[in-house]
Each structure stands twice: as C-alpha cells, then as structure tokens.
Amino acid sequence: MSSYQKRTKDELAQRIAQDIPDGAYVNLGIGMPTKVANHIPADREIVLQSENGILGMGPAPEDGQEDYDLTNAGKQPVTLLPGGSYFHHADSFAMMRGGHLDICVLGAFQVSATGDLANWSTGEASAIPAVGGAMDLAVGAKSTWVMMDLMTKTGECKVVQACSYPLTGLACVKRIYTELCTLECTPQGLRLIDLVDGLSHAELEAMVGLPIATA
C-alpha cells in the first residue's frame, strides 16, 4: 500500500517560489497564492505586484506590525520592500493587461489537461461570482501558474479533460502546483514535473483519471 505525505500549504508555496527566476515580475492571486510571498529565496530579486496597485510587495508583516492601509488584493496586510511603490488601480490593470508581468500564480476550481482555466465561478445559483482580475492576468501574464489542491473535498480531481465550470481563459495555464505533484499543461496534454515521495506515477494517473507523460 502506498505511503506518501502531502505537501503542506507552506511547502507548496515554497515549491512554487523556488521555480520563480531571478528578476521576474510576479502577481500572486487571492487565497493560497499569497503564501508564496513568504518564501521568496533571499538570493533572488523577485518583484511582486498586487492588482490593487502595489509593486515591490514584501512578505506578511510580523504580528503587531500590520498596517491596514497597506494590503494586498485579498485585503491581507503586507509589507513594502525598499524601492516599492503603490499606485492607481487602473495603472495596475494596465500593467497586467500590457504584458508586463512574467508570471501570475492563481487559484483554480478546475484546470484542463491543455491549460484551460476555470477559477471565478462554479456556476451554482448560490455561488457569488468573483472574477476580479483573473481574466486580465490569465491572458496578460507571460506565464500562468495555478496553485491548488489536486482533489476537491468530495474526492473529485480538479485537473480534468475539459472544464465544466465557466472559463476564465483558454490554454493559458502552463503549470499546475498541487499538494501531491507538479504538472505541465501542453497542447498534447499533461506532463509530469514532480510528485511527492511515496506516490507512484501510476497512482497519480489513477487519481487524475488522465494520461500523464513523463519527461
């Protein structure tokens, strides 16, 4: 019987942070992706952008040092690194739509094997649509990465052959980072980048229900 340990949310954030190259301009989406800011390697200059108008965003402040005039798009208090700035919302969206971001890290409800993204609505009548800047980021950033749990709370895989939820963008996701594996989305389907110790390739394919090519 397989024995594996899932990545914690912080381990997953650290896994993503280690893949961000030096000099990159990066947007971190609301929710889980905001944790990535706390794990940026000290030897890299990575400039974080927040859609509510921050460039040069730092990690979360220490307890008691919060400044609620300085928050990210999820209304969480953040810090501003030396040389950082804040500006009008419209300028922030011009930055996002103009192709000035190298990477955006977003949460998702579903991602298809070829990189279609659904992350703003489940389509349920009781759900509150929350598109925010996701559509602008998905098509405006040079590379879109998704950070999410692989499975739903009811045991369904969020990586699918075709999204059943309303789409945010088509073929925009390049990588999927989860608590069990890292996957690449290609026009030919999924490719495995890594998986946690103790989990086999065959077991992962059984969970996902789709073929996953190896490097």
Q: What is the β-pairing status of strands 212-213 and 189-195? A: parallel
- Residues 6+ positions from 199 with CB-CB distance below 8 Å: 2, 4, 180, 181
Q: Which of 51, 66, 124, 184 is catalytic?
A: 51
Q: Tally the C-alpha atoms within 13 A of residue 19's C-alpha that lie toward its C-beta.
A: 24
CA distances 18 to 21, 86, 179, Å, are 8, 26, 15
Contact 198, 3 (CB under 8 A): yes
- Residues 6+ positions from 62 with CB-CB distance below 8 Å: none
Is 51 annotated in the active site? yes
Nearest Cα residue to 27 out of 123, 118, 105, 124: 105
User: Would you name the residues annotated as active-site residues?
Assistant: 51
